[in-house]
Amino acid sequence: MKGSDKTFGEWLGVNWIWLAVVGVMLSCVAVLGYKIFSTYAEQLPYISNDHTAWASFGSLLAGFFTLTGTVATVATLLFLAHQNKAMQKVTQMQLATMTFERYINHRKLFIEQLKDLEIAHKNAFNFCDPNLLYKTIFPENGPHKCEFSVESKFDANGDYENLISEIYFRFEELVERFNVSQFNKGDGDLLARCLINFHDRVLMVEPVGAKRNGDIEFNSVPYFINIFSIEEFVRAAVKISNHILRFTNNNEVDGSRIFANSKFVRHAMMDDYFRPVDNQRIEIVTSIFGIKALESIHRQAFRMRDSENEFLLPVTFRTLNNIFSSADLVNGLADDEVLNEVVEDCIEEVGDYLQQMKVDSPNFSMVNKISDKLIALRNR
């Protein structure tokens, strides 16, 4: 009972003004009607046979009912206006609820698809903060607003202004770095920094699992980038970028424009990171015994050519070039049997070549140093 009284009290508190308006109108009609008919009764206290009197009485009734109808119409319009305002409030609440649900579902779908991308890449990486990535892409979205499309924005100088435009900028930067005609000293380092920027600013991912030889570390922080398998990161970067671009109704990027598995790219990065570099904040994981020595031998074998530009140590070069073409193969060197097999293949060719060379041959000293490194690895 108390609940009913409370409900009626709340209703009365909201609608008292309309009840007052209706009451005033009805009172005015009643008073005016009483005044009119009482005056008419005083002036004509008997039933008349005069048709003119009856006509006047009819006109009086017509005027009164017209006034009554007008008052009723005004009251109805006021009531409908009140109802319309109430309906507008209900509609606004419904729209607000729909916007909130759309925002929740939109964000949920985005995060679920990020999880699918992780699974598609065998959980080799995680997104650091999916909610932050969503908010960075859709900065205006929230419980009261939800947009599905985001345009790429560049300022007057051509600089990116949001994540969508940064994706296009970073992608073109990678295309330029990967597709140079010749890699010089330091180009591998510049490429690594471009990859790190893409990794941090666009993808917002972090590697999962144990470190692998060849993994890049920047300021001692591990990255999902391995110089022996750069294509792994590039494939993931292109897929994630295209997912974001599709989700925001933008054109995708063409991953085939980046030659990530180029041996020249790999050699450039190995050259820059397997020899001392001043003020180097980027480091490469090299925990396997002998990996630096083998990389040095690989680099020397690549540069030693005859007059016809043929490799002087083709077996050694091909063996090591194959090893350094994949992070999995490089990390396989942790197995002593695998390492011994590689070393023996190289020693056999180097030994045969030294027997055929003269001591004063141009490359004798370098081949002899290679032999010393290989023997040291055999006798470890």
Q: pLDDT of 205-217, one tens digit each? A: 999 989 999 999 9
Q: pLDDT of 170-198, one tens digit each? A: 999 999 988 887 888 888 888 999 999 99
Q: pLDDT of 42-74, one tens digit each? A: 655 555 556 566 566 666 666 666 766 676 677
Strands (E), 81-212: 125-127, 205-207
DSSP secondary structure of 311-370: BSSHHHHHHHHHHTT-HHHHHGGGSHHHHHHHHHHHHHHHHHHHHHS-TTSTTHHHHHHH
Among 79-93, 204-218, 277-291, 299-313, the least confident range: 79-93
| pTM for the whole structure | 0.73
Count Cα neighbours of 159 within 13 Å in the Cβ-side half-sphere.
2
Determine how many CB atoms are found less than 10 A away from the CB of residue 211: 13
